[in-house]
Structure formats: C-alpha cells, structure tokens
Structure 1
Amino acid sequence: MSAVPPASPTAAAGPQADALVGVPTEVPGRDTEAPFERRLGLFLLGGVLILGAALRLYWALHDDGIYWPDEVYQSLEPAHRLLYGYGLVAWEFVQGARNWALPGLVAAVLGLGRLVGLTDPAGYLAWVKGFFALVGTATAWATWRLSRASGASPLAASGGAALFALAAVPLYFAPRAMSENASALPVVLGLALALPKAASRRALVAGASLLGLAVLLRLQNGVFCAGLVAVLLGRRQWRQAGVALAVLSGWALAFGLLDKLTWGRWFHSAIVYLDFNVLQGKAAQWGTEPFGYYPRVLRTAMPVLTVVTAALCLVAMPRAWGLSLLAAAFFVLHALQPHKELRFLVPVLPLFAALAGVGLDSALRLLRGAPARGTAVVAVAAGALLSGAGAGALTFGQLGQYERVRPRDSAWDDQGPINRLLEVAGRRDDVCGLKVEAVHLAWAGGYSYFHRKVPLYPHTGPGRDSRLFSHVITPVGLEGPGTLVAREGPVALVKLPVADCVPDPGYSWRLP
C-alpha cells in the first residue's frame, strides 16, 4: 500500500487511543485527525458495535427459520451428534466432503451451554445463535482494524465498520451457524495483522495463522491465503512472503491431519469437495446464475448502501491496492462459479466495508473543518443503520434465494413454525417416533430442534398406520384422526391414535 501523508501535529493523543483498541501505533503517517475527530470516531465505533450487537442478538432470539439447510446439517446437526450421540447425517458427512472443524467448534459451544444447564433446544440454540451474533459483532470491530491498518483515520474507519455492523445483509446472516460467518472473523483480523507493509514478524505470523484457521472453517478462504502471499511478493517483501508461506503450509498440514484423523485420508474433505463441485460440477443441481448475480442481488437487498460502498471502494483502490486485489479476487472467483448463493460472499463483505472506510478517508480530506467531516461519517453510519432497521422486511427474492418459486416470501422465520413444533414434540414423554409431513426434512431443524432419540421420518416415510411413530407434524387441515397437541401458524402437531410404537430395525439416520 502506498504511504499516507505525514501526520499533523494535532494528532498527539493518537497512539494512546489506538493502543487501547489494539491497533499498532508504529505505522507512520496514519493519524491525521484532530483530537475531536479521533474521539468522535472512537465514540461512533462504540455506538456502531453496540447497535450491531443488539440487532444481531435480537434476530438470534426471534428467528427459528432456515435460510438454507447447510446452517443446520453442516454445523448444528453434526455438532449435536458429536455431543449427544445422535442426529441426521447429510451426504457431506457420509462421503466426507466437509471437515470437522466447524461442527467441532459448534459442539464446543453446545458443550459450554450444557455445562451451564442449557440442555433444552430453546436454550442451547439461542446460546449458539447468540455466539454467532457476537462473532459477527467482533467481525465488525475487526473491520475497523483492517480499515485502520489500510490507512483510514479512526473516524473514517468507524464509518466503514458501520457498513458491516449495521447493514441489512450482514445482519440477516449473522446469527446463523454457517462456515461463512465463523470464518469471516479470522479472515478480517488475519488480514488486519498480516497485510500492512510495516507489519512486524509477530503480527505476520499471527495474521497468517488466522487465515489458516479460516481455511479450516471454510475451504474457499484459501483465496485470501494465496492472495496474501501474492501481495507480499508483489511488494518484493521476499522474507515476509516466505514467513507467510511457511505458516500457511503448517496450517495446510493441520487441515490434512484433521482429515486423516477423522476421514482416514489426508485432505480427504478437500479432495471430495473439489471433485464434487469443480470437476463434476454437481453443485449446479441446486441452481445456476449468471456472472452478474451478486451485484444484482446486493443492489436489490441494499440499494443505496451497495452503490455508496462500491463507489468508496473504487476511491480506495490507489491507497489499498493489496486489499482491493484480495477482495476483487474472492468476489470474481465466486461470480464465475455457476451455483451462487448470497451467503458465499459473507467473508468478503467486511473487506469491502474496510475498503469503504479508506475511500471515505480520502473523501473527507476534501472537506474543511471537523464538523463537516464528522457529519459526513455520521451520515454514512446513519444510512447503514437505516438499512439494518429495515432488515426485517427482507424477502427471499431480495436475497436472491428461491427467486423463481417464492420471491415475495419473508426471508425470516422460514419453517420456523415447524421447528418450534419439533421442540414441543421433543419435550413430550409420549413421543416414540415423529413424522414431518409438512416439508422436506432437509428444510426442518432435525434433531438439533427435536432433541429426542426416537425415529424422525420424512414426508416420504412410512404411513400413519405403520405404528412406527406416534406423532406427526402436518399442514393444518390435514390432521386426520388423532389429538391436536399444538398448532403453529399453518402447521400442527398431532398425536396419532396408537398405543405405542413398534421398533424399526431398518431406521436410517441419513438425511433423505
């Protein structure tokens, strides 16, 4: 990155303030603000993080829906199986297309919850979602750090952080137990440590390690690892590139060892995943979209904020070419893949926000007087808050999901009524088996919500007269013979007129 103009004498109080929030103070030329602007920036950052945490926690506690089955069957369900000994098994964990880092992390969070008495789904699911919500808040703070490390002033960096902390799309995904959310924090914090030209050896090692951890959580983050080495080589920082490559190689070895210990073959999950998605192109069975899908969907979900962020990122490019290169590479490579989902971009959204902070810093230099600069940054943060405040109105069409079948449906609490009935059924002593007739089982919460070790059948499973299950979750109006136990919106939990279940020796734990 090119050097920032020398600091003014008015920034004498700067290093102490930065030290309190963990930003290196040895990089020259970063602090160009008056003390008032610095204090305003830190105050704004605190407000942005508090509001971002509050909004994320609110949605963590008020949404039982599912955006895509992966948020259950790639994380919650295998973690439940690790901790409690039972759960449905998706094909990825039959063939080994995923490693166990993310389920292991979620299982650790569930285990901590169990230690404090959270053994009911309502409690431990809120605990896990709250954890991911706070990880998202920490990612917003790391976005501020990355923006600062890329040359932005504290005030401008706070405006950039607001674009991730408060915007609608990051808020929507924040509480979901997905690899994109879990890996975004180590990506952003790792780049904040390792990417600055004047980064110390310790910071470089720590940053590269965080990027290696991000790959363990999500394989696609390898783009950032390769990008970091490429940027260091482009700067002719040969020694730093060698250090980063050595650290990343160690983490690659850890990835392979994890697969060896869990799947029996070095790098098994990466091989199977890349074969399925890249060589065979089978991910296309879940839909394909053109190259321009991501820009279109972002503009639909956050019209004004997307345009403002993109413009500020363009302004930032001359000052932060390395970060711009990494963000663009990740974005373009995902845009080139036929199968697209907006969640795939979650790890790069904070990078765009950090770049926007750098671009905002450049724009502020054109304004005279602290009040004008402060007003401009507060306006950016207010625009982000306005976007986040309207997140509750998001539809699947605006998020680019189910566009051809139900684009006007709310993106919130989708299948939430079914999941809440799963919780109700799991608490009943008379349940000896349950059939979900109202939806494909992949779009329900599985044993993570049901939390009872009895058979859980899909809508294509045995008939009601089989005596293999005692309860059904069915659409209202199709209850049939039996006793209504509970109703949630369009679905009902019904106890069938059977005395007891007969054993099912052929029951399969595999997700259909």
Structure 2
Amino acid sequence: MSSPALQFPAPAVPESTPEPASDLPGPAPRNGRRWPVFLLPVVALLPAVIAVLQLGRIHPDEVYQALEPAWWRVHGYGVLAWEWKDGIRNWAVPGVLAGFLKLADLLGITRPQGYRAVVALPQAALHAWSVWAAYRFAARRAGPAGGWLAALLVGLYGPVLVFAGRTLGESFSASFLLVAMEALDRRERPVRAGLVGGAALGLAVVTRYPSAIFVLAALVWLVAARRWRLLAFTCAGGLVVAAGLGALDWATWGSPFHSFLAYARFNVFSEGAAARFGSDPPSYYARPLLTAVPLWAWGAALLGVAALRQRLALSLPLWCAAVYTGVLLATAHKEERFLYPGLVLAVLAAAAPVAAFIATRARADARWSLVALALGTGLGTAAFFPSSDLRADQFRAIVAATEGGGARGLLIVNEGLWGAGGFFYLGQQIPWLTCDWPQDGAFQHAMRDSSFNRAVTFEDRALAELQAAGFRVARRIGRETLLVRE
C-alpha cells in the first residue's frame, strides 16, 4: 500500500489557546507575575550590548559590508571592498546605518564605541521584534507561559547572543525570518498576516540574498497547505519590498535590481564564489551542526518525528530550515556563519514543543530544574559556534590607539586588511597599515615613516623590532599590546 504524500498544513490550533496549568509565570496581570513582560526586552537587548562592549568581528563582512560602507557614505572616505566596486551588494543596510551614524555625529558622539552603540539601535529594535514573534509563535502551541519560556529559549540561545547584535547579513536576515515565520503561522487576519509575512521575507532577502531560499520554501509550504488568500497577500507584501529594492538599485547602481542580478551571476550561475573563496564537502557542516544545536532541541526532534508519523505535518520554520540546510550542503562554498539563519528557525520550531512539555507535562517540582537545564545547554553552544577568533581585544586596542588625540598613523601587526576594523573603528582619517612579520614591506614603511606613531601587535609579535624603532609599550589589552612613539 502506498504511503500518503507529505503535507505541510497550518497548525490546527484554536483561535485562543487556554493557558496550561503550570507554575511557570504567565503574562496575566491578575496573578501579579509581570516580570516576563520586562524580561524579554532585556533579553532582546543582550546581543547588541554584547557586540558593542565586546567589539571584534565574527567575519570581515561585519565591518566591510556594513559599517565601513556606512562610514564612507557619511564621511566620504573609507575602505570599500570589491563587492562595492562590482555592484553585487545593495545599499539598504549601510544606508540605514549611515543615517544613525549621522545622528551620532549630530549628537557629538565621536568615540568609535559610542557611535557603534548608536548604530546598534535599529538592529536591537529589529531583534526585539523577532523575540516577540518567537513568543507569539510558541504561545499558540504552548499557551502564554510556554510562550515566554520558548521566547527565552530562542533569545538566550548561544548563537543568537553572539550573532544577533552583529552587523552581518545573516544576523539581520534571521531576525526578519523569525518575524515572517510567526506572521505566516497565524490563522486569523490573513490579509495582515500575509502582508507582514511577505514584507518580512522580502526584507530578509534584501539584507541577505541567499535568504531567497527561505522565501521559495515558505511559498511551497503555503501552496501545500492550500492557504491561497494568505499566499496571495504574502506575495503582495514581498512585491512591495522587491519594488523598493529595484528603486534603490536604480538610484545607487544605475539600473533596477543591479546588485541582485550581479550577485546571482557571481554566486549562482557561475563558480565565482567557490573559485575565489574555496569549496568544501558537505561534511564541513557536521561539526558546526553538532555543536550549535542544544540538547533540548534534539529532544524536540524526537517529539517532532513522533508527531510527523501521526499528522504527516511539518511546521513552517522547520520546513524552511530543512530546505535551506539541504541547499547549503549541496553548495560548494561553505562557511559556518551561513548556517545561522537555518539554526535560528530550527530552534524556533523546537522551542515550542519543549516549552509545552515543561509547562504541561513535567512534574511541578522538576519544572524549574528543566528550565535551567534547557537555558543552560542553549547558552553553552555559544562556546562552540562560531569557532573563529573574534579578535575583540584587537578592536578594543585599535579604538584605544586613537583615543585622546595625537594619533597620526597606525600599524596593526599580525592582521590582514580585511581582518582589521577599517576607518569606522579608527574614527578619523589617518594612514594605517597591516602586516604579519617585521620583514613585510608595510612594517618597514611604518618604521621609517614618523607619522606612524601608534602600533597594535598581537601576542607581542615584532615587539622587539617595534621597540628598536622607538615605540614604547603604553597599554596591554587582552592579547594585544598598544605601543606609542613620539
């Protein structure tokens, strides 16, 4: 006998789900437990606060595809990566960040860490919206108490704390995707849900073109679920955003959708990305996936398999995460950060059943222990994903090098151009060079040129040579040493 075809129906839940019996706090004011309402904004702000206080970068794109172009737009100088010369990026994110950077200038904020905090405001607001969306998505399945817990599981998930405050395309896109998943999951007001969901999907693509995979997966899900009205307004919301992208590219690159088409030619219709940045087998993602998925999510996977056997249904975020991960495995060029949007959607899908289990089925005396265990294992994944060195101490040393005035030129030892912080973190137009070893031409030039009176070196590399050229140690910041010379 043939097995039934796999379907993707919308969750069959009532319009208002009663709150399960639980001693976990709910949002109802009558019981005096209001603290989740105030806790979620704090959780939503954490990634931005961490990124601003820590500095550093997950990937050079954090600086050179967002912060540095924004600096260039405001100040007229900066380091523009090849993508901004070939036109395979759009100016949406740098344009918004440039507006807030200009606001910082108007407020007289000139310290790099200070205007980095101002630039973080729109991203923090976006992330707060996505955490609220995670609550609403889970509350339909687990009640208000379970919704709060699920929102905490998503908001305090280690990779979210690391990524969500970073100016990476993956970070912006994942937040928009959370909003889209919640909107398209709604059973009520399909017009509003579709417009919001479609616009959020569109903005997820504008901030990161590979997220078009999620859009296609979501549309397939809506077709399979036969939610035709929602599908129509989702397309309408997405088309409005697409029209805005076309107009932006026309104004900045001279033709509609110039950046999207150039990106597709380089990354999809040719082997440009693999040829320039390398290729890896699917096994490349094995370790990141194993270390980035928290233990409680694996438990939710078992619950999901059991439910799938009964109802033959996949939730929208789980379906989108699975399709996206499958495409990543088949794509030649691979990087750990590419996994992040899919991981966030998978965690959203897993958080709801875990929260429902703790809130309704776990013994009362064990609930808080299970909450602590789930949150702890989720937080712990931050130690493994991403595995790259953030070099946060280097960025703090670069900021310190230009504080107080007097800096005329900066040499950064044991770092390449694309690993440094650009003019954004220097905060002023002074010459700066990077090098690896004392025999490098950039190092020799800086030693001969007296305008280079600041140096930052990693783990004291070339320290003796710097001191021989008249530099003295001024300060140690983590693994970095800041040197000055008169």
Q: Normalised by the shorter chain, which TM-score bucket?
A: 0.7 to 0.9
Q: What amino acid does structure 1 have at the position aligned with 2:92?
A: A
Structure 1 residue aligned with 2:266: 276
Segments of structure 1 that go 5 or more residues without pairing to the other structure are 6-26, 403-410, 498-512
Aligned ranges 1:172-211 → 2 under 5 Å? 172-211=162-201
Q: Offset at 1:34?
A: 4.4
Going from structure 1 to structure 2, the CA distance change for 1:44 and 1:28 (only over 3 Å counts) comes to same
- Corresponding residue SS for 1:252: helix
Stretch deviating more after TM superposition (311-320 or 343-352): 311-320
> What per-residue deviation string (whole Å, max 9, x for no partner) do you get for residues 369-403 of structure 1?
xx737954x455323432365467x2xxx33645x
- Aligned counterparts of 2:335 and 2:247: Cα–Cα separation in 1: 30
Structure 1 residue aligned with 2:438: none
Going from structure 1 to structure 2, the CA distance change for 1:486 and 1:420 (only over 3 Å counts) comes to farther
> What per-residue deviation string (whole Å, max 9, x for no partner) do you get for residues 252-277 of structure 1?
22222211211112222112222222
Out of 61, 64, 78, the position equivalent to 1:70 is 61
Structure 1 residue aligned with 2:218: 228
- Corresponding residue SS for 2:117: helix
Structure 1 residue aligned with 2:445: 463
Structure 2 residue aligned with 1:262: 252
Structure 1 residue aligned with 2:227: 237
Q: Offset at 1:90?
A: 0.9
Q: Offset at 1:79?
A: 0.9
On the 8 A contact 1:194/1:207 being kept in 2, the answer is yes
On the 8 A contact 1:30/1:153 being kept in 2, the answer is yes
- Corresponding residue SS for 1:477: helix
Out of 21, 28, 50, the position equivalent to 2:15 is 28
Q: What amino acid does structure 2 have at the position aligned with 1:84?
A: H
Structure 2 residue aligned with 1:39: 26
Stretch deviating more after TM superposition (174-183 or 29-38): 29-38
Going from structure 1 to structure 2, the CA distance change for 1:175 and 1:248 (only over 3 Å counts) comes to closer
- Aligned counterparts of 1:379 and 1:336: Cα–Cα separation in 2: 40
Aligned ranges 1:124-139 → 2 under 5 Å? 124-129=115-120, 132-133=123-124, 135-139=126-130
On the 8 A contact 2:24/2:359 being kept in 1, the answer is no
- Aligned counterparts of 1:111 and 1:419: Cα–Cα separation in 2: 22
- Aligned counterparts of 2:316 and 2:381: Cα–Cα separation in 1: 32
- Aligned counterparts of 1:482 and 1:187: Cα–Cα separation in 2: 53
Stretch deviating more after TM superposition (131-140 or 414-423): 131-140
Structure 2 residue aligned with 1:249: 239
Q: What amino acid does structure 2 have at the position aligned with 1:28?
A: E
- Corresponding residue SS for 2:395: helix
- Aligned counterparts of 1:311 and 1:116: Cα–Cα separation in 2: 53
Structure 2 residue aligned with 1:399: 385
On the 8 A contact 2:52/2:113 being kept in 1, the answer is no
Structure 1 residue aligned with 2:332: 338
> What per-residue deviation string (whole Å, max 9, x for no partner) do you get for residues 225-280 of structure 1?
22332222222233432332233223222222211211112222112222222333
More helix by share: 2
Structure 2 residue aligned with 1:89: 80
- Corresponding residue SS for 2:242: helix
- Aligned counterparts of 2:25 and 2:12: Cα–Cα separation in 1: 17
Aligned ranges 1:401-416 → 2 under 5 Å? 401=387, 411=389, 414-416=390-392
- Aligned counterparts of 1:269 and 1:44: Cα–Cα separation in 2: 45
> What per-residue deviation string (whole Å, max 9, x for no partner) do you get for residues 293-314 of structure 1?
4453132245524423433554
On the 8 A contact 2:113/2:399 being kept in 1, the answer is yes
- Aligned counterparts of 1:115 and 1:364: Cα–Cα separation in 2: 49
Going from structure 1 to structure 2, the CA distance change for 1:187 and 1:387 (only over 3 Å counts) comes to same
On the 8 A contact 1:316/1:356 being kept in 2, the answer is no
> What per-residue deviation string (whole Å, max 9, x for no partner) do you get for residues 331-381 of structure 1?
2222322232332233333322332234336646983xxx737954x4553
On the 8 A contact 1:88/1:446 being kept in 2, the answer is yes
Tell me whether 1:148 sits opposite 2:148 in the alignment: no
Q: Offset at 1:71?
A: 0.8
Q: What amino acid does structure 2 have at the position aligned with 1:357?
A: A
Structure 2 residue aligned with 1:24: none
Structure 1 residue aligned with 2:149: 159
- Aligned counterparts of 2:296 and 2:415: Cα–Cα separation in 1: 35
Going from structure 1 to structure 2, the CA distance change for 1:241 and 1:420 (only over 3 Å counts) comes to closer
- Corresponding residue SS for 1:299: helix
Structure 1 residue aligned with 2:424: 448
Q: Offset at 1:51?
A: 5.9
On the 8 A contact 1:417/1:491 being kept in 2, the answer is yes
Q: What amino acid does structure 2 have at the position aligned with 1:195?
A: D
Aligned ranges 1:294-313 → 2 under 5 Å? 294-302=285-293, 304-313=295-304
Q: What amino acid does structure 2 have at the position aligned with 1:33?
A: P
On the 8 A contact 1:183/1:218 being kept in 2, the answer is yes
Q: What amino acid does structure 1 have at the position aligned with 2:221?
A: V
On the 8 A contact 1:76/1:177 being kept in 2, the answer is yes
On the 8 A contact 1:184/1:214 being kept in 2, the answer is yes
On the 8 A contact 2:195/2:234 being kept in 1, the answer is yes
- Aligned counterparts of 1:37 and 1:484: Cα–Cα separation in 2: 58
- Aligned counterparts of 1:296 and 1:122: Cα–Cα separation in 2: 34
- Aligned counterparts of 1:69 and 1:153: Cα–Cα separation in 2: 41
Q: What amino acid does structure 1 have at the position aligned with 2:217?
A: G
- Identical pairs, percent: 29
Stretch deviating more after TM superposition (240-249 or 435-444): 240-249
Q: What amino acid does structure 1 have at the position aligned with 2:202?
A: G
Q: TM-score, normalised by structure 1?
A: 0.78
On the 8 A contact 2:397/2:456 being kept in 1, the answer is yes
Aligned ranges 1:205-220 → 2 under 5 Å? 205-220=195-210
C-alpha RMSD over aligned residues: 3.3
- Aligned counterparts of 2:56 and 2:412: Cα–Cα separation in 1: 16
